[in-house]
Amino acid sequence: MSGRIYLRPTGFVDAPFGHDGKVARLAGGLQWFSAVEIVRENEAELVPVAGIEARLGDTEHAIWKRLTSVRPPLALGERVVRLDQPQVIGILNVTPDSFSDGGRFGDGEAAIGAGHAMAAAGAAIVDVGGESTRPGAAAVWEGDEAARVVPVVQRLAAGGTAISVDTRKAAVMEQALAAGARMINDVSALTWDPRAAEVAAAADCPVVLVHHRGPPEMMQDNPRYDRPVLLEVYDWLEERIEAAVAAGIDRAKIIVDPGFGFGKNLQHNLALMNGLAMLHGLGCPIMLGASRKRTIGALSNEAPVDRRLAGSLALALRGAEQGVQMLRVHDVPETLQALRVWRGLRDAALTPS
């Protein structure tokens, strides 16, 4: 095989006991894998973990190191979020036109109550957004967005909740951070606002870079990829990581999100879900936001948004199985219950008999 190489962990095993030298731990989490798919564009070769390092060049060794290195915890002010197990991030849309809840939390008091409930249920972080990024959504003036977000962030942060602000606008980032937000989640990966990277670097806080294809107004207008979508997403996120580092953002504080449903059709989304483990080769924690997305409806007889819980849980668990560290969801208690059962199974497998 020639050309650029990508490594996708596969052949997951329940536990490493009795497999010395034959398995590797994925990103310091709860998964061990016994094989790697060495991928180049449309070619792939499946090889065992045993002896793989002897087959890798210097560049591939660097990817291998990132695949198998521990992800340090995130500091959000005084709150520390461990990344050696999946964490739930609650979605709080303070918008009148959210695709997922129909503006249910457009009222500030309702949003604050919902945010407190998410935190009480066990969400590690509550992600507050004031601009819908659903397909076809129009941009919101930054003043209106800040007016929606800032009072909610302030109240929730004052109550001890770890807050992320979901925005692509530097002015909203600044105001939300001043109000108590401790993480930035930018659906444009710091490309929409020329000041965004500067603000994020100055804040020295965790930053989520989300893959997308086009603005919300047109991102679902027949999205196409010239190469396998997983490889394009990988390369694009790698470029955005390097741009963020060049802007002064600490690489250890960068999180990547493959942008499920953002400029992707059904087949693109499914390919991404099946190949998520490859993205650990970027060396950053992974956030997955597949909750209630259109793909679930497409696979379940066009189920409406309010009937996509089971599909959301299936995708969340699929992400957990591939080592995703952060699951961004609407249904916090239900997702946490599913993860607790999943974690119980993992703990049982990892307890020597």
Catalytic residues: 293, 328
Tell me, what DSSP letter sits at residue 77?
T
CA distance 15 to 30: 9
Assign 126 to helix, strand or coil: strand
CA distance 111 to 223: 33
> What are the residues whose beta carbons fall under 8 Å from the beta carbon of 51, sequence distance 6 or more?
none
CA distance 81 to 268: 30
CA distance 336 to 317: 10
Count CB-CB contacts under 10 A for residue 351. 9
Question: Is there a contact between 95 and 129 (Cβ–Cβ < 8 Å)?
Answer: yes
For 148, what's the count of Cα atoms within 13 Å in the CB-facing half-sphere?
A: 25
CA distances from 149 to 97, 210, 217, 284 (A): 14, 20, 21, 27
Question: Is there a contact between 30 and 346 (Cβ–Cβ < 8 Å)?
Answer: yes
For 292, the token pair is 């209630």
CA distance 283 to 62: 9
CA distance 62 to 45: 19
